[in-house]
């Protein structure tokens, strides 16, 4: 074997050993990352439909969402949400929001992002629309409340306020502060 061939052979051996060492060091880093990465527990649903029942076990409301995911704290997060009460509940309201969170005991649904509540039989018997950025809904008690700015349209009338409590089943509304309105004759 010539000196050139021997030098080339030694260079190849050094390169092979170096690539093996590099591959092993990268592999051990991957193993460490996979063992220390937190595991995601829970589930997710696409095109979710969740049914809520009353104390008697009968259907009370229905939640439809593009996406639903269980959070680490056992809350459920929904995106692009619509909530409709059953006809037996006699609550003529449909609620829509970009996002909803249901707490673990399912007593409250927190709606956020372009929240709209609509009823054709709303307050004063006129079509009613409530808009806000955040709304807490107690579906079993038919209550909706917010401390945020709210805009309400009742027929041709328009009212804005900061904070609201709405009793959806009895169509009663309490506005908290900074109430301004526009009423057409």
Per-residue pLDDT of the chain (185 residues; tens, 9 = 90+): 677 767 666 766 666 666 777 677 776 555 554 444 444 556 788 888 988 888 888 899 999 999 999 888 888 899 999 999 988 888 889 999 999 999 877 789 999 999 999 988 866 677 889 999 999 999 999 999 999 999 999 888 899 999 999 998 888 889 999 888 876 65
Torsion of CA 51, 113, 42, 140, to 10 degrees: -30
Number of residues that make up the chain: 185
Supply the pLDDT for residue 4. Answer: 73
Tell me: the pLDDT tens digits for 88-124?
888 889 999 999 999 877 789 999 999 999 988 866 6
CA distance 74 to 103: 8
> What are the φ/ψ torsions at residue 153 (nearest 5 degrees)?
-120, 125
Question: Would strands 172-182 and 157-167 be described as parallel, antiparallel, or unpaired?
Answer: antiparallel
What kind and span of H or E run contains 69? strand 59-70
Q: How many Cβ atoms sit within 10 Å of the Cβ of residue 76?
A: 23
Place of tokens 């969740």: 50
Joined together, the tokens standing for residue 145 give 């409340």
Task: Calculate the CA 182 to chain-centre distance.
Answer: 33
Burial grade of 161 (CB within 10 A; 0-12, 13-18, 19 or more): buried
CA distance 21 to 63: 55
The pair of structure tokens assigned to 29 is 């880093």
- pTM (2 d.p.): 0.72
């Amino acid at each position: 074997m010539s000196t050139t061939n021997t030098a080339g052979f030694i260079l190849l051996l050094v390169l092979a050993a170096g690539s093996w060492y590099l591959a092993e060091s990268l592999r051990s880093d991957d193993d460490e990352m996979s063992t220390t990465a937190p595991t995601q527990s829970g589930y997710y649903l696409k095109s979710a439909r969740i049914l809520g029942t009353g104390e008697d076990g009968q259907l009370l409301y229905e939640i439809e969402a593009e996406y639903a995911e269980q959070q680490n704290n056992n809350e459920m997060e929904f995106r692009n949400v619509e909530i409709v009460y059953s006809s037996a509940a006699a609550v003529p309201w449909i609620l829509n929001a970009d996002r909803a969170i249901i707490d673990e005991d399912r007593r409250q649904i927190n709606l956020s992002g372009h929240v709209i509540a609509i009823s054709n039989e709303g307050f004063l018997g006129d079509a009613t629309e409530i808009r806000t950025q955040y709304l807490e809904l107690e579906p079993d008690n038919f209550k909706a409340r917010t401390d945020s700015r709210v805009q309400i349209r009742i027929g041709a009338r328009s009212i804005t306020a900061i904070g609201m409590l709405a009793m959806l089943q009895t169509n009663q509304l309490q506005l908290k502060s900074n109430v301004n309105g526009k009423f057409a004759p």
